[in-house]
């Protein structure tokens, strides 16, 4: 089967990008990363992409008059790369309806909480303060409302005695690195469809749970 071309959008470190790069090295992985785009010049993930021989581009949002102009440049770059799917991996800009709707059910995000709990920032701090016994991550199709959309994969990890934000974040990040490659592979292989705002994976209601 031909591999689905994917663009990955990043802002900073790119450890989830690295997990996708590593997964896509397998000959039987159904997706191929064709371009990595950063909105922050010098984002760490750009070097990871270059190291892997993947084309990169920096589209600095500060150089655009407004969000639609920035998003038009993003869209043009993605389309020029031939990508048919877009993965947000630590991409720290909100995307407006024009972009999100154009890539509906082809735009994937990872968020470091078990959605619908804790959308937004400071997820680990808030999970600790709420006394949660488990934390985790969610991979989902993007909708215009931040950190919402049909859930593809969720991975839970325990909150352990003595956890602080950093320790919990590190444990969740390991789960992220398993969840994102799985979610992308399911979408790229055509195993996901959306019905009534729920992802059906091989016909079964999602998300797939990795615990």
Residues that bind ligand GRF (CB under 6 A): 12-17, 89-90, 110-112, 137, 173, 176
Tell me the β-bridge partners of 193: 200
Residue 72 vs 173, nearer CB to ligand GRF: 173
Q: In the complex, what is the shortest distance from the CB of residue 31 to ligand GRF, in angstroms, rounded to a whole number?
A: 17
The whole-angstrom separation of Cα 55 and Cα 106 is 20
> Residue 177 catalytic?
no
Choose among 206, 207, 204, 189: nearest CA to 85.
189
Residue 13 vs 193, nearer CB to ligand GRF: 13
Which residue in the list 111, 124, 140, 177 is annotated as catalytic? 111
User: Could you tell me the sign of the dihedral formed by the alpha carbons of 136, 139, 144, 150, in that order?
Assistant: negative
Residue number, nearest CB to ligand GRF? 90
Residue 112 vs 149, nearer CB to ligand GRF: 112
Q: In the complex, what is the shortest distance from the CB of residue 112 to ligand GRF, in angstroms, rounded to a whole number?
A: 4
Return the SS3 of 155. strand
The whole-angstrom separation of Cα 8 and Cα 139 is 14
Q: Judge whether 94 and 14 are in contact, CB under 8 Å.
A: no
The whole-angstrom separation of Cα 182 and Cα 139 is 9
Q: In the complex, what is the shortest distance from the CB of residue 28 to ligand GRF, in angstroms, rounded to a whole number?
A: 24
158 contacts: CB under 8 Å, gap ≥ 6: 133, 134, 171
Q: In the complex, what is the shortest distance from the CB of residue 41 to ligand GRF, in angstroms, rounded to a whole number?
A: 15
Residue 18 vs 81, nearer CB to ligand GRF: 18
Catalytic residue positions, numbered: 111
């Amino acid at each position: 089967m031909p591999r689905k071309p994917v663009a990955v959008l990043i802002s900073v470190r790119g450890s989830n990008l690295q997990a996708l790069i590593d997964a896509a090295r397998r000959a039987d992985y159904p997706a191929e990363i064709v371009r990595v785009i950063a909105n922050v010049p010098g984002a760490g993930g750009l070097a990871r992409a270059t190291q892997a021989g993947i084309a990169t581009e920096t589209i600095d949002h500060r150089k655009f008059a407004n969000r639609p102009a920035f998003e038009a440049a993003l869209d043009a770059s993605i389309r020029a790369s031939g990508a048919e799917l877009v993965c947000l991996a630590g991409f720290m800009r909100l995307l407006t309806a024009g972009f999100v709707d154009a890539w509906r059910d082809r735009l994937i995000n990872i968020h470091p909480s078990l959605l619908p709990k804790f959308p937004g920032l400071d997820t680990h701090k808030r999970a600790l303060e709420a006394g949660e016994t488990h934390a985790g991550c969610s991979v989902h199709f993007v909708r215009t409302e931040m950190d919402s959309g049909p859930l593809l994969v969720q991975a839970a990890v325990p909150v352990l005695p003595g956890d602080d934000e950093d320790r919990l974040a590190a444990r969740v990040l390991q789960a992220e690195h398993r969840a994102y490659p799985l979610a992308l592979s399911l979408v790229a292989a055509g195993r996901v469809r959306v019905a009534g705002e729920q992802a059906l994976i091989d016909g079964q209601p999602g998300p797939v749970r990795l615990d």
